[in-house]
Amino acid sequence: MNLTLRIWRQKGPEDKGRMVTYRVEDVSPDMSFLEMLDVLNERLILEGEEPIAFDHDCREGICGMCSLMINGEAHGPQRGTTACQLHMRQFSDGDTIDIEPWRARAFPVVKDLVVNRSAFDKIISAGGYITAPTGSAPEAHSVPVAKANADAAFESAACIGCGACVAACPNGSGMLFTAAKVTQLSLVPQGQPERYTRVIGMVDAHDEAGFGGCTNIGECAAACPKGIPLNTIGRLNRDYLTATAKRAGTPGS
């Protein structure tokens, strides 16, 4: 099939950036979306142009590195699918496809379609863990975990940290990402001691990094390639409220 691509080109953080039109021909329906960009890049290099920079690594939907806004949808039109797993059979001959980077205040553009998502790491660093220094762990079976809780923790732990939730949110909020980790760790007994300091730390870091607030629009969960449920944000809010009331960290509270 033949396609028209309109791709965001931006030399660096200081450049204003613009959409540039490219035509690609003989695209196979068996190609992945990124392979289609590979083929275009090979051509650009031989034509003496700079190839389009985009992030990708595992190309099997698990590392979370790919991050393309395709026709205004994070990771494109197919539900539950990262851009690297999206295949060209989802498109038709003659289509025009707009490709843009994630756009959010907390994710500044580095170049073309590449953005800086280190703000996510800062949120984890501020409490998205259970303190368990190596060597200190008790025997694994000393604390059983109810299967329902373990399964629900897993659902939230499936987050790949790609940032589609932020890109899809009109507020540029990172609340689904934050809530997924808060939910995972608050559902297991090992996560209880730090439960309330964790949620405060992570939400503070989220706000400091420039993410917007959550206004329950729900675009995030619709865009999430891993199906992180919106109700994790409800759990976060509940823990946050309790933490504020308890004045997290105060002994005996």
Partner 1 sequence: MDLYTEGDPIADTKAPDGPIETRWERRRFEAKLVNPANRRKLTVIVVGTGLAGGSAAATLAEQGYHVRSYCYQDSPRRAHSIAAQGGINAAKNYRNDGDSVHRLFYDTVKGGDFRSRESNVHRLAEVSVNIIDQCVAQGVPFAREYGGLLDTRSFGGAQVQRTFYARGQTGQQLLLGAYQALERQIGLGNVEMNARHEMLELVVVDGRARGIVVRDLVTGEITTELADAVVLASGGYGNVFYLSTNAKGCNVTASWRAHRKGAYFANPCYTQIHPTCIPVSGDHQSKLTLMSESLRNDGRVWVPKAKGDNRNPRDIPEDERDYYLERIYPSFGNLVPRDIASRAAKNVCDEGRGVGPTGLGVYLDFADAIERLGRKAIEAKYGNLFEMYERITGEDPYEVPMRIYPAVHYTMGGLWVDYDLQSTIPGLFVIGEANFSDHGANRLGASALMQGLADGYFVLPNTLPNYLANAGSFGKIDASHPEVVAARVAVEERIQKLLSINGDRTVDSFHRELGQIMWEHCGMERSEAGLRKAIDEIRVLREQFWQRVRVPGDGEGLNQSLEKAGRVADFFELAELMCIDALHREESCGGHFRAEHQTPDGEAQRDDDRFAYAAAWEYTGDQPVLHKEDLKFEYVHPTQRSYK
Judged by CB under 8 A, the chain residues 149 through 188 that form the site for partner 1 are 150-151, 153-154, 157-158, 160-161, 184-185, 188
- Nearest alpha-carbon partner for 130 in 200, 198, 202: 198
- If one counts every other C-beta atom within 10 angstroms of the C-beta of residue 210, the result is 14
| Residue nearer to partner 1 on the CB measure, 37 or 233 | 37
CA 11 – CA 50 distance, rounded (Å): 10
| Residue nearer to partner 1 on the CB measure, 153 or 217 | 153
Running DSSP on this structure, what letter comes out for residue 23? E
Query: Which stretch in 17-25, 130-138, 168-176, 242-250 sits in contact with partner 1 by CB under 8 A?
Result: 130-138
The binding track of 61-100 with respect to partner 1, each residue x by CB under 8 A or -, is: xxxxx------------x-xx---xxx-x-----------
The least CB distance from residue 173 to partner 1, in Å, is 19
CA 13 – CA 179 distance, rounded (Å): 29
| Residue nearer to partner 1 on the CB measure, 1 or 217 | 1
Query: Which stretch in 94-102, 138-146, 216-224, 230-238 sits in contact with partner 1 by CB under 8 A?
Result: 138-146
| Residue nearer to partner 1 on the CB measure, 23 or 213 | 23
| Residue nearer to partner 1 on the CB measure, 41 or 171 | 41
Interior/surface letters 18-32, b for 16+ CB within 10 angstroms, e for the rest: eeeebebeebeeeeb
| Residue 143 burial (10 A CB sphere; 0-12, 13-18, 19+) | exposed
Place of tokens 């083929």: 39
| Among the listed residues 141, 216, 250, 252, the single contact to partner 1 using CB under 8 A | 141
The least CB distance from residue 89 to partner 1, in Å, is 5
The least CB distance from residue 4 to partner 1, in Å, is 19
Site for partner 1 in 201-240 (CB under 8 A): none
User: Parallel, antiparallel, or unpaired for β 3-9 and 96-100?
Assistant: parallel
| Residue nearer to partner 1 on the CB measure, 188 or 217 | 188
Q: Which phi and psi angles does 74 have, rounded to 5°?
A: -65, 125
The least CB distance from residue 75 to partner 1, in Å, is 12
- Nearest alpha-carbon partner for 35 in 60, 62, 71: 60
| Residue nearer to partner 1 on the CB measure, 61 or 212 | 61
- Nearest alpha-carbon partner for 213 in 242, 170, 183, 244: 170
Size of the chain, expressed as the number of residues it contains: 253
The least CB distance from residue 238 to partner 1, in Å, is 19
- Residues 116/110, Cβ–Cβ less than 8 Å: yes
The binding track of 15-34 with respect to partner 1, each residue x by CB under 8 A or -, is: -------------xxxxx-x
